[in-house]
Amino acid sequence: MERNGGADFVAVSIREKLAKLSVLQSECCIYRVRKQLRELNEKAYEPEIVAIGPYHRDKPSLKMMEEHKLRYFQFILQQNNNATVERFIIAVRSLEQEARRCYAEPITLSPDEMIEMMILDGCFIIKLLHKFETPCLRANDPIFDMDWIVNSLQRDLLLFENQLPFSILCKLFDIIEDPDNHNRLIHLVTRFFNDLLPDRVCSNIGNSSCRHLLGVIHNNWLPFEPNDSKKEESWCFIPSATELQEAGVKLKKDKRGKLFDIKFKSGVMQIPPITIEDRTETFFRNLIAYEEYCPDNELSYVIDYVKFMDCLIKSPKDVEILCRYGIIDNWQGDYGVVARLFNKISAAVTGPGKHFRYADVFNKVNNHRRKRRNRWMAILNRNYLNSPWALISILAALVLLLLTLTQTVFTVFPIKL
């Protein structure tokens, strides 16, 4: 009896928990960064000046921009006769539940608070993009009076946790500008972030696959050609830039390629250039977080690139070599800072996975290193041909050897006159 009673109690408890279990949301696209990544550099995921969405909105350090959000919204109402407060509310209210499902964590805001937040945050972003593209709209705007404010806004709007569903931006854009002209919105977004990212972006997709601003940048940053690395069943990591040079691998800057288009052919590794500045680590970390939560496991371009650079860079000397060839444009000044940057970013990052983009490149490099002829030529170049004076010494020794051989031949076989 006690056993049955105990079983009945457990059954009731389990059924109650099952009844409270939330439904898995396939629309979810805005997450909190996992602990293992956050602990390595928490500041890289925290906004400096503006909160977008619900995750960071209550932080006192971000309250300064709340008044600017209201001013931007007021500016939109004054400049657009078709835009009224009521029209914005009606438009966003229809998407309120859909927007909630985009966030991985439950949102404690009431429906009215959620709607107000999305209107003010979304209109602020859209008007900021407009002003960035059109300087004549910036009159009496303190945001554009100081470069550091714009720089911080650009950084904060690319944080993985600091996002608004792109469907909300599109709905607001329909009221502020031409309806259904969302390619125009994507153009404004890519223009706003174009100079910040290590590689130029271009609008090559429609808005159907965009989930938020960070997703727009990631999607537009991808190379045009598909990833064919699935053909590689096994591969091994490559050594550092210093070791590659010692093994006879030549490094060359590829001016025409996009950032991820790294190639290896005939002993030459072609690598597109990258600029390293203060915000590079933040950009990479948030793009990596986006890729880790992305349902498409093949969209790991940033993760794979960071792993590739982590292989090349093991010490400040490796950075110096890459800078010498123009592959890295170092705005940090110190080679050690850049080396630590890539080594730190790569730590705690999942991957590379089975679709590793550079598997074919790694295999070609390792096969090149294993060939005996290439190793011998590398030793010859390193030990005897690494400077003009060494080359002159070898040539002088060869001339002396030829003269000695000639003298020996004439001594053994004298010419009779």
- Span of 50-59, 261-270, 397-406 with lowest mean pLDDT: 397-406
Q: How do the domains of the chain map onto residue ranges?
A: 35-221, 237-372, 387-417
Is pLDDT of 393 > 90? no
pLDDT at 5 over 60: no
Give the three-state DSSP class for 109. Answer: coil
**Segment 198-248, tens digit of pLDDT:** 666 555 555 456 899 999 999 888 776 655 555 556 889 999 999 998 888
Residue 260 above 80 pLDDT? yes
Better-predicted residue by pLDDT, 371 or 337: 337
- For helices 111-133 and 64-79, the axis angle rounded to 10 degrees is 70
pLDDT category at 3 given cuts 50, 70, 90 is low
- pTM more than 0.75: yes
Q: Are strands 274-276 and 250-253 parallel, antiparallel or unpaired?
A: unpaired
**DSSP symbol at 103:** B
Output the pLDDT for position 1.
42
> Do the Cβ atoms of 161 and 57 come closer than 8 Å?
no
Percent of the chain at pLDDT > 90 equals 61
Task: Report how far residue 306's alpha carbon sits from residue 342's, in angstroms, rounded to the nearest whole number.
Answer: 7
User: Which region holds residue 53: left if phi is over 0, alpha if psi is between -120 and 50, else beta?
Assistant: left
More confident residue, 401 or 336: 336
**DSSP three-state, residue 253:** strand
Least confident interval from 33-37, 70-74, 230-234:
230-234
d(CA 15, CA 74) in angstroms, rounded, equals: 51
Q: Is the peptide bond before 352 cis (omega within 30 degrees of 0)?
A: yes
